[in-house]
Amino acid sequence: MARERKKDDERPADRRRRRVVRIALAAILGVALYYALFGGEYSVFELRRLSRRVEQERIRLDSLRAEVDSLEARADSLANDSATIERIARERYGMIRPGERLYRFVEEDTTEVAAPSE
């Protein structure tokens, strides 16, 4: 029992040293926590911003893939489907087959012209 000390029997220098160590550890942990949250290239806020941007880019990539698929299907139909080519020739260029008549209907202009004021 002679070697065992009670807490009250500690020397003031030992208590001071323990207190300094605790304060230093708390300060180091505080700085590390601050740096993890706010500092550096990989802060929590930066990682959240980057993850939102990745999600936006995934959505954009999906829409571009769908557009590419649609364009590939259209290119394939233009290259291999004569009915599609004929439809486009008739609609865009007004082409007709021999013996057919082309009727064009012009819509009447419904905007009223204001009479000049005197």
**Residues 21, 51 share a domain:** no
Over the stretch 71-107, which tens digit does the pLDDT of each residue have?
Answer: 999 999 989 999 999 999 888 988 888 998 888 888 8
User: pTM to 2 decimals?
Assistant: 0.50
Over the stretch 43-79, which tens digit does the pLDDT of each residue have?
Answer: 788 888 999 999 999 999 999 999 999 999 999 998 9
**Residues 50, 17 share a domain:** no
pLDDT at 110 over 80: no
Overall number of domains in the chain:
2
What are the residues whose beta carbons fall under 8 Å from the beta carbon of 96, sequence distance 6 or more? Answer: 90, 102
Query: What's the domain range around 51?
Result: 42-98
Domain-located, residue 53: yes
Distance (Å, whole) CA 84 – CA 77: 7
**Residues 86, 56 share a domain:** yes
Over the stretch 1-27, which tens digit does the pLDDT of each residue have?
Answer: 445 555 556 688 888 899 999 999 999
